[in-house]
Amino acid sequence: MTIPHEFKETLLTLDNVCLKLAGRAILSGVSARVRNVTRPGRLQGQVVGVLGPSGVGKTQLFRLLSGLTAPDEGKILVGSEQKTVTRGEVGVVAQAYPLFEHHTVLENLVLAARQHGLARPEAHEQASRMLQRFLLQDCARAYPATLSGGQRQRAAIAQQLIRPKPLLLMDEPFSGLDLAMVKNVCDLLAEVACQDELLTIVLVTHDIAAALSVADTLWLLGRPRSENGAREGARIVQIIDLIERGLAWHPDVMQAPAFAGTKREIEQRFASL
């Protein structure tokens, strides 16, 4: 069943994005957009899952979205004001959940707040709020090396959300996790998305089931073949609207009949990507 919703302003635009490395086309004509989706009576951010086979160009797309690399052609615009993406204006949670190892969790968050211009008292107050929001109060004085994988991930997300940003990128957030932990991460991301309806979360992952569990939209990245059979640069070859399929925002989505069918559809499509 499709949950009532409405689409409003555009929050993320990829317009004919192209990238070459050492003369080889990595990404060619990547185009898509994410619009603010609203639901009656509640906040609802956007969650996009980027799927594709290994080596297709997901990492390079991640770098472009983060502002770490500039496209050779095209443009990437973020936020309700649709500004060109720049490094530091986008939240990035890398696979290793990097934190300052010689600082406590609280100090990591305070440092992040200070880097965004808050005075120390305000930075400490904001960091304390984030610790509560991400259930990390008991870890405030702990060092990153002593944290579990789940705690470290929550701390890394909190670090990036310490100041409002229009886009949060996550690289392989489900990698190496057992099924129970994957569910915990999906629940966490769903909770984060519901804190700010102008926040867009983009997950770059190879885990089809996990992406289906938490995203409202999927982008399938593939490398089409030219007329002579050669592989071209990667682009978004299919966009799957999980809202229209009745698979978005459901806590038990894996039990939905359409879930298994959509997963099979994507797995079969992977063979041609």
- Tell me how far apart the terminal alpha carbons of the chain are, to the nearest angstrom: 30
- Asked if the model's pLDDT at residue 6 lies above 70, the reply is yes
Residue-averaged pLDDT of the chain: 91
Instruction: Say whether pTM exceeds 0.85.
Output: yes
Half-sphere exposure of 258 (CA within 13 A, CB side): 15
- The superfamily CATH assigns to domain 6-90+165-270 is P-loop containing nucleotide triphosphate hydrolases (3.40.50.300)
Q: What's the pLDDT score for residue 107?
A: 95
Q: What contacts 115, CB < 8 A, 6 or more positions away?
A: none
**Separation CA 4–CA 37 (nearest Å):** 10
Q: What's the pLDDT score for residue 229?
A: 62
Q: What's the pLDDT score for residue 235?
A: 95
Q: Looking at 22-177, which runs of residues are DSSP E strands?
A: 24-38, 46-51, 73-78, 83-84, 91-93, 167-171
* pLDDT confidence tier of residue 265, bands split at 50, 70 and 90: very high
- Tell me the average pLDDT across 205-231: 88
* pLDDT confidence tier of residue 176, bands split at 50, 70 and 90: confident
User: What is the residue extent of each domain of the chain?
Assistant: 6-90+165-270, 97-164
pLDDT digits (tens, 9 = 90+) for 20-45: 999 999 999 999 999 999 999 999 99
CB 242 within 8 A of CB 212: yes
- Asked if the model's pLDDT at residue 218 lies above 90, the reply is yes
